[in-house]
């Protein structure tokens, strides 16, 4: 017969064995999960490196051409005559192609458009996010439909209007054109404002704040990401635009922007071969301000995009 006094000890042994088996099984499962995660991360990193190479290659190609010590086009990125910085020096000192003048014109237009557009966007976004009035949804739907049509469809009509009032060919005309429809791009800013609790507005109104004070004292201090995002996008639009500037400025060479001026450098066969490398030098130089701004404000830019996509 089995001694009953030995039963508790046997049960303890069985329990310890089961516990050890469970721990071993858990360790094996964790090891398997870590191995799968490591494989997944490795594949992801390889894919990201591959995509980075694809994205960097065109940038590297533009820069390599800009410092090439030979004129005209070439079939290889590696020149036989070496590299030089003369393309940049010639671009900055050229009297035929006043790059610095183009750069200044573009900077003036971009800064004014950035400020005006940001005010328009935030005004409309706050109105659509916080205020309730008759026709609000209808206006939003109409704006969404109109946004499906490209803006350059109205170029001829816009040019005739500007010519009729006597400001065609001027920087003021460019500023007005770029800023006029900026308020229609309020959706991302509105989505960001929707994420801010309305209880803050109600508390401010109890203290006697009106709509402007609520917007200025409550909403704006909490909206740094979307402010940076709106400023950057409003700045980049006129900075790189060619279509509207080519239609509005036309023969007004003193008011040329960088995009229009650089195109003018290579708009014929002769100038194309002569100024090819200088054109790429200009392309590198106009990308520097945007690159610096984006690197300095990347954190807020990403937060503005993701925050504005939470609600519609």
Q: Please report, for the domain that includes residue 120, its CATH number.
A: 1.10.3720.10
Indicate whether 155 belongs to any domain.
Answer: yes
Residues 126 and 45 in one domain: no
Residues 26 and 133 in one domain: no
Residues 49 and 136 in one domain: no
pLDDT tens digit sequence for 131-170: 888 888 888 888 888 878 777 777 888 888 888 888 888 8
Residues 101 and 45 in one domain: no
Indicate whether 71 belongs to any domain.
Answer: no
Question: What's residue 51's pLDDT?
Answer: 92
Indicate whether 82 belongs to any domain.
Answer: no
Residues 194 and 101 in one domain: yes
pLDDT tens digit sequence for 28-65: 777 777 888 888 889 999 999 999 999 888 888 888 88
Number of domains in the chain: 2
Side-chain-side CA neighbours of 119 within 13 Å: the count stands at 8
Indicate whether 119 belongs to any domain.
Answer: yes
Residues 54 and 142 in one domain: no
Indicate whether 87 belongs to any domain.
Answer: no
Residues 55 and 124 in one domain: no
Indicate whether 105 belongs to any domain.
Answer: yes
Residues 241 and 171 in one domain: yes
Indicate whether 295 belongs to any domain.
Answer: yes
Residues 59 and 99 in one domain: no
**What residues make up the domain containing 214?**
94-308
Residues 24 and 139 in one domain: no
Per-residue pLDDT of the chain (312 residues; tens, 9 = 90+): 444 444 466 566 666 666 666 677 777 777 777 888 888 889 999 999 999 999 888 888 888 888 888 777 766 667 777 788 888 998 898 888 899 999 999 999 999 999 999 999 998 888 888 888 888 888 888 888 887 877 777 788 888 888 888 888 889 989 998 888 787 888 888 888 888 888 888 888 888 888 888 888 888 888 888 888 888 888 988 898 888 888 888 878 888 999 998 888 888 777 777 888 889 999 999 988 888 888 887 776 665 555 544 444
Residues 117 and 227 in one domain: yes
Residues 99 and 27 in one domain: no
């Amino acid at each position: 017969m089995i001694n009953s006094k030995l039963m508790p000890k046997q049960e303890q042994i069985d329990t310890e064995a089961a516990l050890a088996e469970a721990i071993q099984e858990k360790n094996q499962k964790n090891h398997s999960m870590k191995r799968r995660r490591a494989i997944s991360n490795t594949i992801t990193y390889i894919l990201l490196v591959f995509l980075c190479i694809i994205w960097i290659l065109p940038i590297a190609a533009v820069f390599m051409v800009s410092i090439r010590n030979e004129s005209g086009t070439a079939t290889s990125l590696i020149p036989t005559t070496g590299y030089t910085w003369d393309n940049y020096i010639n671009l900055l000192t050229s009297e035929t192609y006043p790059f610095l003048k183009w750069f200044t014109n573009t900077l003036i237009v971009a800064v004014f458009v950035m400020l005006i557009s940001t005010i328009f966007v935030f005004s409309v976004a706050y109105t659509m996010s916080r205020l309730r009035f008759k026709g609000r949804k209808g206006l939003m739907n109409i704006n969404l439909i109109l946004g499906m049509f490209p803006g350059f469809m109205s170029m001829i009509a816009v040019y005739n209007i500007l010519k009729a009032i006597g400001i065609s060919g001027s920087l003021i005309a460019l500023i007005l054109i770029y800023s006029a429809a900026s308020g229609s791009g309020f959706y991302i800013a509105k989505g960001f404002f929707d994420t801010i609790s309305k209880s803050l507005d109600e508390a401010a109104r109890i203290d006697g704040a009106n709509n402007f004070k609520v917007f200025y004292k409550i909403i704006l201090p909490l909206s740094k990401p979307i402010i940076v995002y709106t400023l950057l996008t409003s700045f980049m639009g006129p900075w790189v635009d060619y279509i509207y500037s080519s239609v509005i400025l036309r023969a007004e060479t003193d008011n040329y922007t960088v995009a229009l001026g650089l195109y003018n450098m290579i708009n014929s066969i002769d100038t194309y071969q002569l100024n090819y490398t200088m054109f790429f030098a200009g392309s590198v130089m106009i990308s520097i301000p945007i690159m610096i701004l984006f690197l300095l404000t990347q954190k807020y830019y990403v937060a503005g995009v993701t925050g504005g996509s939470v609600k519609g």
